[in-house]
Amino acid sequence: MKRVHQSQDGSVSETTALGMLRRMLEIPSPSYHEAALADYLVQALEELGFQAYIDRVGNVIGEIGAGDGPVVMLISHLDTVPGEIPVRSEDGRLYGRGAVDAKGPLATMICAAASLADYPGRIVVVGAVEEETPCSRGAMRIRSEMPEPDYVVVGEPSGWSTVVLGYKGKLDLRYRVERPATHPSNPEPKASELAAATWHELLDLLGPEANHGSFDQPGATLCSFSGDLVAAKAEFSIRTPPGFDSEGLVKALRSRLPEGQLTVVNSVAACRAGRGSEVVRALSVAIRDQHARPTMKLKTATSDMNTLAEVWDVPMATYGPGDSRLDHADDEHIMIADYLRGIAVLTAALRELAPGPAKARMRVVR
């Protein structure tokens, strides 16, 4: 008997798709506080026909499929940055924290996979924890303890007709320094001055071409600065291009510091998929099926694609509906039409990744 959440062709109904995303937005899930959303999603996945569970770090994992064919992993993240946005529908838009980053892409993945219960392989949907933190603990656990899949799609807002081929890497640094108490007029360097000087030394090492607007150049951000004459701390984040020597930069910066401690909080390399990747091709075909011309993009930010690509050498790309310019914004929202188009695109892309004869059968509307 067909479940009430399914349409006649086996796809998840629009009502179910929108209801699930709205409920996901209504459940706050800032980093380190994803448990309530995880509990809801396990129940939702089971109702959609998945085998679902929560792993030991809090990731939600759902599996669906009916054969021994390829394993496709669809991975997005549960957590959001802090800050609540009232959930509402208005002028064809659905507002809420995480609407584009990345509950919209995650809901897209769930709905697309749920439409393919007879997939001739396995589709593994992962809602990872702590992507918005320096260490991406959820993705780190997935890459170390789950078998390497045949294909990976990472869920982040690319725009429904765009595929993201790669991301800059990231180097997160923390500098701490303490100095003896002294009068402000003492010519000896103060802790606050040393921390400020470290930022300027970092910029000097990166050079005048460094900026966040180019994929091929590093870009630095002073994330936080606090302290006084006696103790000070500064945190820096450097987005790095492919081939960047992060270890060399850290070594050079340390050599310029007269005192204090420079710590590497996290380091992940840049990643870039080829246009000929099976995943990129499948997504491109699926976008054309929706009567759009697929575009390719490189992002100057970082995602769990970086974390997985460091270990897994498999065809991989990033896809998800939503405008990435709304990431972390106070008016974060997703166009409802784009969300539904995204589900159609990803469903078709999964069919493209099925083995030959099975692919032909799955293209037939049942």
Q: What positions carry a catalytic annotation?
A: 79, 131
Q: What Å distances lie between residue 239 and 110, 221, 272, 279, 304, CA to CA?
A: 30, 8, 14, 25, 14
How many beta carbons lie within 10 A of that of residue 339, not counting itself? 26
3-state secondary structure of 161: coil
* Tokens (6 digits) for 325: 């310019």
* CA-closest candidate to residue 42, choices 122, 126, 112: 126
Q: What Å distances lie between residue 62 and 44, 49, 98, 145, 154, CA to CA?
A: 10, 9, 20, 15, 15
Buried b (16+ CB within 10 A) or exposed e, 176-202: bbebeeeeeeeeeebbbebbbbbeebb
CA atoms within 13 A on the CB side of 292: 18
How many beta carbons lie within 10 A of that of residue 122, not counting itself? 20
The secondary structure of residue 6, as a DSSP letter, is B
Q: Which residues pair with 53 in a beta bridge?
A: 61
Radius of gyration of the chain (CA): 22
